[in-house]
Structure 1
C-alpha cells in the first residue's frame, strides 16, 4: 500500500494551460517516487485509488483531479493506469468540521494543517462485493 499527501491545490485535467498540467504531474510524480520504494506494480494487478481533496470554498471538480494524479504515478507505482479498477474520491471543505478520529494519521495531520491538500492511497483492489 502507498499513501501520501500532495500539499497543495490540485490541478484539473481540463486546464487550458498544458504546461501547468505537466508541471503538476511532475510534482505529483516526485512525491509518489519519494514515498514508493517497492518495485513497480506490474500490469495484471487490479488497484484501488483513494483520494481525499481538502479544499477551500472554491474547489476544483473532484472528478477532474483524478486523472492527472493517476497519470503521474504511471511508471513510478504501477505499470499502466488501466490497472486502476476502483476509484474512491472525496471532497471535504476545510471550513467545515472534519472529524479526524479513525482517519489515517497523515490525513488527520493534513486536516489539522488547514491548507488545501490531497490525500492519496493506492492499494490492491478487493472483490466487488466488499464495496457493495
Structure 2
C-alpha cells in the first residue's frame, strides 16, 4: 500500500495569475503549478493514489510588493491546476483558506513546516500551497 500524500505542500516562486488574466497567461500559470505539484509528488512517494476523501486547501501568497488585485481571484486557477495531480476532482475540496502576506505588514508563524519555511525565506513572489485530509476543522 502506498503512503498517503497528505498533508501535501509545495511552493511556486512566481506571481500567481488571477482568473482575469489572459487565457495564455492563465494556462502557463496552471501548468507551472501542475509541474511543481508533480515534482513534489515524485519527491515524497514512489506510488500514490487519488481517492475521494474530503480535503482542505490552504494558499498563502507572499508578494514582494503590495498585491495588485484581489486574493480571491487566485484561488480557482490553483484549485483547477491540481486536479489529477493531487486530487481527482476539485469538488473534494471542502475548505479553502487563502491569505496574502504583504511585505509592509508584520506577521509570523510559530511553527512553520519545512516547506512553509522555504516560502518564508524567499524574497521574490512565492505561493505556498497545502492540501490536507485532516478534517479537524469540521468541529469548529
Offset of residue 39 of structure 1 = 2.3
Query: How many Å separate the matches in 2 of 1:82 and 1:3?
Result: 19
Q: Deviations over 1:76-120 (max 9, x none)?
A: 111101011111111111233332431223222322222211110
Which is strand-richer, 1 or 2? 1
Offset of residue 128 of structure 1 = 4.9
* Residue 94 (structure 1) aligned with residue 99 (structure 2): no
SS at match of 1:93: coil
Give 4+ residue runs of structure 1 displaced > 6 Å after superposition. none
Moved more, 52-61 or 92-101: 92-101
Give the corresponding residue for 1:51.
Answer: 59
SS at match of 1:33: helix
Instruction: Map 1:13-28; keep pairs closer than 5 Å.
Output: 13-15=19-21, 17-28=22-33
Distance 1:118 1:60, change over 3 A: farther
Q: TM-score, normalised by structure 1?
A: 0.87
Cα RMSD of the aligned pairs, angstroms, is 1.7
Q: Unpaired runs of 5+ in structure 2? A: 1-6
